[in-house]
Amino acid sequence: MNKFKNYTYMFKHLIFCLAVVSVVACGAKPRINLDLEGLELKPTTQHEIIAKEVANLLENFSYKKVPMSDSLSNIVFNNLLEGVDQGKNYMLKSDVDDFQQFKNTISQDFKQGDLSSAFYIFNKYTNRYLQCMNFALEQIDAKHDFTKDESYTSFREKENWFTSEAELKDQWRKRVKYDLLNLRLTASDSSKVDEEKNKETLRNRYNNLISQAKKTNANDAFQMIMTALTDAVDPHTTYYNPSFAQAFNESMSNTLEGIGAQLQMENEMVTIKQIIAGGPAFKDKSLHINDRIVAVAQGNDGEFEDIIGWRLDAAVAKIKGKKGTVVKLKILPAGAELSAAPKIVKLTREKIILAEESAKRETKVIKGEDGKNYKIGVINLPKFYIDFEAVRRGDKDYKSTTRDVRLLLDSLKQDGVDAVLMDLRNNGGGSLQEAIELTGLFIDQGPVVQVRDSRNRVQVDSDEETGLAWDGPFGVMINRFSASASEIFAGAIQDYGRGIILGSTSYGKGTVQNAVDMSRFISATNKLLIKASGEADPDTPNGAPEFGQINITMGKFYRVTGSSTQHKGVSPDVVFPTQYSAEKFGESSEPSALPWDQIKPTKFAIVSSLKDINAQLEEIHKKRMQKSPAYQFLLEDIADFNKNETMPAISLNETKLKAEREKIRQKQRDRINKQLAFLGEPLWKEGQPQPKLDYDFVLDESANVLTDYIRLKK
């Protein structure tokens, strides 16, 4: 999805807080008056110089070479509005009308190093935010009638902007009423609701939000503003200020600390966006993508602290901790309505070695349609990794994807497996070279991928090693979150006819990014100017790029057939339904994504033509699915997910909301018990903790398809 769909009042992946002295530098034209009542953040000389250089890079050196024009300004303007107030809960139509003066010129302003209009928008929004929070505080002690029939909509993206302060205040009256009602209904004993305690909880929540907002600084504003610019050009080109550049680079290293989950802010809630293989969350299996963390407690006996609306860095600080310590999380499951009761998950923090994201194997025994048992070796590959540091040191035993998979294939051959299934679901990519070399384990020499650079020069990257590590029946599993290197590998296997691709259409990221230290583009004169201004950030972390870093798109991937993986992704041969539509997830959902195109194919030798056998496999698969209860469960999950994509209006009538919540609770229990009955497990009874369902239907059915493949090939 568009990066701005992950913002609340700050910016994507906000994990830092820096102090900056705010002084305005001279520019090429008069600046907008930044003085507003309340917050008065101003860009520094360093910000303005960096903005000018980034605009220059985007115009002249990126793959798209997009000019800073009126049309781009419109996109940047809309990105910034969506970034600050996507839910339309804070600003008035009069504010947005006032901002229209910048709509056609804001990208040209970047080119001149003029950030005054962007900071004006940011400051106006932040002050509206503080006004709303202060009004909410006043409403806590107001009289609220919980028997009245009215509703509250928390996310108003598709609604119009408020036309008056009265409309805005009524929205926030309802917000406070809902928050109080929600606290009433979450009490363990409804007969002992402590209204004063609930008011104090809410008062603390709002005061914390105000405190966090007042800590907003010029670097925070600059990061959001720059992302509005880069995202207008390309969804994978991003500028990172020094602190976030360091955090990004650390995330590419070998260790993380905490629960092992990547978090983002969505609609003022800390949301799980990735679960790191090998970490506590991965091992526990209680957390899932798009689950929302609403409260955190330290240790086994600590009290829960509400984190709704916190800055991401503040929330992460509560969730992270020393190895061996316990953290408890209140979780609102993905897709659940705001009125649903949260579940509690307890995790023991660990030091997460990203090397634990290594390839892993298992063996499944599958009874085929012919009644025979088949051994299917499954290799799960979470990412394409390589220890670059060990390679640079000349270490002959360096760790890499291809080396690990080769060893796993050897062990599977010793086990006498009949086929191998490579699981690339949720594999977001990694090393391009490893994608090429891994393909070489399954083909005997030949081109794997073509790369075209910004000068239209095409380079063909090939597997040059003779021999195969596995020449038997082979399948590759992909889904909507298989991207980049995963798509290169799956596309090559499909083009060579070397194996069956199973799952749903992949992400469609077919672009190449280079990470560049911005100091390379800041002239000595400008460096002296920044130093002389006294505005150089004194809190830049040790080792961080002094002027930040830009990850800029410099090339595009193409399959050996000449077809780009960009936008369209890789389409499976045997299709599984998915809740993640192309319109809302993946590259095709990004307005600024590069289009699909094609170049000349390169010469390669097809191993076999699988068109006819793929059609037979798809037909057998569909017939088997019609008889499968597990398949029906999958379809129900998809239907529930799509139904909950929109934000419904929530009843503010206590009796009705309580009934709705109980209905949701019972439906969830019935749904889980149907699955438990299918698996032959004890049912989930009232008062017992929710059981964990560890059943991967898509994996098992993919293994079934491979047994069909073996039979048909014979």
Secondary structure percentages of the chain, helix, strand, coil, to 5? 40, 15, 40
Closest to 28 (Cα-Cα) out of 49, 2, 59, 10:
49
Greatest CA separation for the chain: 81
Closest to 414 (Cα-Cα) out of 466, 377, 457:
377
Three-state DSSP state, 21: coil
CA distance 593 to 591: 6
Kind and range of the H or E run holding 668? helix 654-679
Closest to 201 (Cα-Cα) out of 339, 306, 332:
306
- Contact (Cβ atoms closer than 8 angstroms) between residue 657 and residue 185: yes
CA distance 370 to 709: 12
- Contact (Cβ atoms closer than 8 angstroms) between residue 433 and residue 402: no
Three-state DSSP state, 222: helix
CA distance 269 to 263: 10
- Contact (Cβ atoms closer than 8 angstroms) between residue 212 and residue 317: no
**Which two structure tokens, joined as six digits, stand for 571?**
């389409």
Three-state DSSP state, 670: helix
DSSP state letter for 430: B
Q: What are phi and psi of 270, to 5 degrees?
A: -70, 120
Q: Give how far the C-alpha of residue 523 lies from the chain's centroid of Cα atoms, to the nearest Å.
A: 35
Task: Report the 10 Å Cβ neighbour count for 275.
Answer: 23
- In which residue are the tokens 């929600």 written? 182
**Residue 441 burial (10 A CB sphere; 0-12, 13-18, 19+):** buried
**Pairing status of strand 650-651 against strand 261-266:** unpaired
CA distance 355 to 352: 9
Q: Which of the residues are catalytic?
A: 484, 495, 509
CA distance 484 to 436: 12
Bridge partner residues of 689 (DSSP):
none
Q: Which amino acid is at 103?
A: K
Rg (CA), the chain: 27
CA distance 568 to 597: 10
